[in-house]
Amino acid sequence: MNKEITVSLPKNISAKELPLFKPFLTYQLSPQKVKTFNNVFVTNSGYCLNDQGLIKESHHDHPHQIADYHNEAAHYYYAVKDHPELLIELDDEQTYLLIHHPWYNYYHWLMESIFRAWMVRKKKDKMILLLPDYYQNSDFIMGTLEPFRFENIYYIPAYHSLMVRNLCLPQIKAKVDSYDYKMMAEVRQFYLDYVNRVKKLNIDKGERIYISRKKAQRKKVMNEDEIEPILLKHNFTLLNNEDYSFLEQIAIYANAKYLVSIHGSGLTNMLFMKTGSKLLEFHKEQTNEKDWHSKAFWYMAEALGFDYYQQICIPTDPEDDYFNANFIVDPELLDRNLALLFADE
């Protein structure tokens, strides 16, 4: 049975911005189950098919994207039809575990795939984890897996798909913008304990962190030089997450209480911040019909019990979409919003 989740409005909401948030003050959280399947076609990207078609537990439940899921799965299926050498059969008695899906980025891996691993953590040593081979070269993939200590991992060669006799499939969450509060608290504590007690890492960059995307290829704050003095005035440390390993980032954000950045995967690190933290997220102004307003980090902050603030920013190109646009941040508005963050200090 679905659970209705209620969220709070941003702390600095204005009447003009209210339509972006007020219609979305509740959402449905669907339960996630762990299922086992036999004789499953597994694509390199994580979609699963059996004789009934695309297995729903391997993809999100976003109706406008269903056709894309089917098209990608079909791409791998027909590639094997044309080139049988691209199919690897795992027909032994072992049980294989699948947790990944095509959206390869930090947020989706940590907040979706890792949560699927968490669901089966007590029986992980009886299974072989399936991963695309290029995941081996990713620090955040291997760093997040390190505390789990998987005994066996099978790396799927590039372009290849699998036919798996016994597959364990923890269900991916139905909606991206939804959070199991209990599981989030458990995963958060799991990583904090590992970094503090096992790795004994303590990297103190202060309680106030601004995540820069200067080193990113897209979605940057183009007038960052203009807002840096304001951030420094409010005692923020300016960071590039790319300069630190995943485990080092946990250590940094475990000491943080205030976080400011543009909408992007870096904000996922609020998972590790102190109890009672505050977040200010820069959003893109909606300037074309393909635009949308992401609720991912608003809802995530609510799930963690954090105060959420937001600031709408104009893009340098109105035709750019939400995922690629570069932003201009209003310095005066930023200064006022930061003052609100610290008003009760």
pLDDT in tens, 155-166: 999 999 999 999
Structure tokens at 317: 């190109």
Q: List the end-to-end C-alpha distance of the chain, in Å, as a whole number.
A: 41
pLDDT at 192: 98
Please state, in angstroms and rounded to a whole number, the distance separating the CA atoms of residues 182 and 84. Answer: 44
pLDDT in tens, 305-320: 999 999 999 999 888 8
Residue 291 has pLDDT above 80, yes or no: no
Helix segments in 83-198, DSSP class H: 106-108, 114-119, 139-145, 181-193
The whole-model pTM stands at: 0.95
pLDDT in tens, 218-253: 888 999 999 999 999 999 999 999 999 999 999 999
Beta bridge partners of 279: 259, 308
Structure tokens at 242: 């790319």
Per cent of the chain over pLDDT 90 is 89
From the list 35, 48, 12, the residue with the least C-alpha distance to 280 is 12
Residues 6+ apart with CB under 8 A from 210: 231, 236, 237, 238, 239, 259, 260, 261
- Collapsed DSSP state (helix, strand, coil) of residue 70: helix
Structure tokens at 129: 């984890």
Please state, in angstroms and rounded to a whole number, the distance separating the CA atoms of residues 219 and 327. Answer: 7
Please state, in angstroms and rounded to a whole number, the distance separating the CA atoms of residues 196 and 200. Answer: 5
pLDDT at 88: 98
Say if residues 67 and 73 touch (Cβ distance below 8 Å).
Answer: no
From the list 278, 304, 104, the residue with the least C-alpha distance to 187 is 304
